[in-house]
Amino acid sequence: MLIKDYLNDRIETIFDLEKFKSKMTEKRSRRSFLRSTALAGIAAGLPAGLQALEIKPEEQYLEPKGLTVLFQGDSITDGKHGRDTDPNHIMGHGYAFSIASRWGADFPSADLIFYNKGISGNRVSQLEARWETDCLNFKPDLLSILVGINDVAKMLSEPVTKPEDFQAFEDTYRKIISQSIAQNPNLILVLCLPFIAAVGKVQKRLNDYETLVEKLSSIIRKLAIEFNAILVDFQLAFKNAPKSVPPAYWIWDGIHPTVAGHELMTRVWLKQVSKKLKYLKKYA
């Protein structure tokens, strides 16, 4: 073959290759355009809520690092947690332990720190008395509070429940929340509702217990709205628990949960918190 012919063949080959590349690029561009157009059309036909869901940035689902999670409350939270730094006992036994163990094990890279500072028998006024030591000093990023049943017991021990008792509960609760948010404006706040079951001494005064628990729960709901907090309705969770077993299966004495009861609490708590921390959507 002459050099001239060889060069002509090479030129034609290169030209054909460039035409091929150009066609492939054109096809890819057209496919991308059609796919984008189709997705846009589908999205346009969706309800507004679903359209918003489609365009949420993926960053919403990234796990925040190094959160300090603090549980506060009475005996239900306490669970006989350790009073020192022994990691084997530090969370006690109960829903706070179950939440910490599950969340920590499922997301180890989140580098979470959990504390349990619940104390058996505490009312909201007693939380206030130790708030700086047992809450503010820990500088929580997420604060979960369950209190109220001992306030109910105190009211039931009095001859008459006075309106100022409810106002004092609300004012004190608002005060400790305000102090926490003042320290950390980005605080994730979880407010849990008190609960009972028709068992033991509660059953004997069920109407009185129900009235007072609902009254305090209404106050907590109000505070949750006021402070944009996550609300965890434990009473509803127990109400919806399987009825194939008696109430004592879940709450053995009408106030304190069993192991199974604490598991129900764990599930509903994680479900509610997953609405705020989107990377926990597996718990939804």
Partners of 152 in the β-ladder? none
Q: List, in order, residues 6 or more apart from 234 with CB less than 8 Å away.
A: 146, 192, 193, 194, 195, 265, 268
Quick count: other Cβ atoms within 10 Å of Cβ 211?
A: 13
Q: What local confidence, expressed as pLDDT, does residue 61 receive? A: 63
Q: In the structure encoding, which two tokens stand for residue 166, read together?
A: 């409810």
* Sheet architecture: strand order including 142-146: 113-116, 68-73, 142-146, 188-192, 230-232
Q: Are 79 and 96 in contact (CB under 8 A)?
A: yes
* CA-closest candidate to residue 264, choices 282, 231, 228, 239: 239
* Rounded CA separation 42/45 (Å): 5
Q: Are 101 and 79 in contact (CB under 8 A)?
A: no
Q: Are 146 and 127 in contact (CB under 8 A)?
A: no
Q: What local confidence, expressed as pLDDT, does residue 46 receive? A: 37
* CA-closest candidate to residue 74, choices 140, 118, 36, 108: 118
- The whole model's pTM is what? 0.79
**Tens of pLDDT, residue by residue, the chain (284 residues):** 444 444 344 434 434 434 434 444 443 344 343 333 333 433 344 334 333 333 344 444 688 999 999 999 999 999 999 998 899 999 999 999 999 999 999 999 999 999 999 999 999 999 999 999 999 999 999 999 999 999 999 999 999 999 999 999 999 999 999 999 999 999 999 999 999 999 999 999 999 999 999 999 999 999 999 999 999 999 999 999 999 999 999 999 999 999 999 999 999 999 999 999 999 999 99
Q: Are 74 and 122 in contact (CB under 8 A)?
A: yes
Q: In the structure encoding, which two tokens stand for residue 46, read together?
A: 């969706």
